[in-house]
Structure 1
């Protein structure tokens, strides 16, 4: 995940039973990428979620390219659901290709609004609750 506030919400909700999470808070440096690769090499399932804005999409593309992570609720349908939760958000900025879902860029261009990760925190936490019940990692990033 991209934003520390989501990590804080997960810790508040799950306490010591919180599923494994990594939060980079923006662009990952080489140490963060190395850590994610090491986690994957040791069996962790890596999934990435971040902001639905131009910068967030570029960060996601970078992380997905440099690690074996898969996108987590970062598809066009997820974006549309997030945008439906807000009456007006900031503009998304320059949006570039999302290799994991070509429809995402079109959806973001059509709506012309960004959706920050905090807007879908409840959805992410429900996914984590399901992974905690199944005792598997869902939210590593």
Structure 2
């Protein structure tokens, strides 16, 4: 869904969507981009799986993109109740922003990327992102 929304919006630049846990080929692309001094960022679902994937990418030099406690709380406060889901298990640690795990545990809500596309696409249209 993010790939087609990116294309329909005419957003410049590259966007790598893996639709889940990045396979080895996607990780190799990310590593090559970082080696070439690209600024690579990760945004995933605010759910147990999305949080679990992040450290694997952050360990390779990827940076968080709208993926902290303030981002979660902001989205949570602005989205319709129908696009919130119960968390599917214990929230893993979020060392890039320890407050994120706390916020998600407190609110017990998962939020998928699709409900945040407007803000994410706006970021991609902005210079310097």
Same fold (TM over 0.5): yes
Which structure has more relative contact order (CA 8 Å, sep 6+)? It is 1
Residue pair 1:52, 1:92 contacting (<8 A) in 2 also: no
- Consecutive unaligned residues of structure 2, counting only runs of 5 or more, are none
Q: Which residue of structure 2 aligns with residue 78 of structure 1?
A: 71
The equivalent of 1:123 in structure 2 is 119
Residue 98 (1) aligns with residue 94 (2): yes
Specify every segment of 5 or more residues in structure 1 that has no aligned partner in the other structure, as ranges: none
Show structure 1 runs of 4+ deviating over 6 A.
none
Shift of 1:86: 2.5
- Counterpart in 1 of 2:13? 19
Give 1:76 deviation, angstroms.
0.4
1:1-141 superposed matches below 5 A: 5-14=1-10, 18-65=12-59, 67-84=60-77, 85-88=79-82, 89-93=84-88, 94-130=90-126, 134=127, 136=128, 138=129
TM-score after normalising by structure 1: 0.84
If each structure's strand is expressed as a fraction of its own residues, which one has the higher value?
A: 2
Between the aligned partners of 1:44 and 1:58, the Cα distance in structure 2 is 23
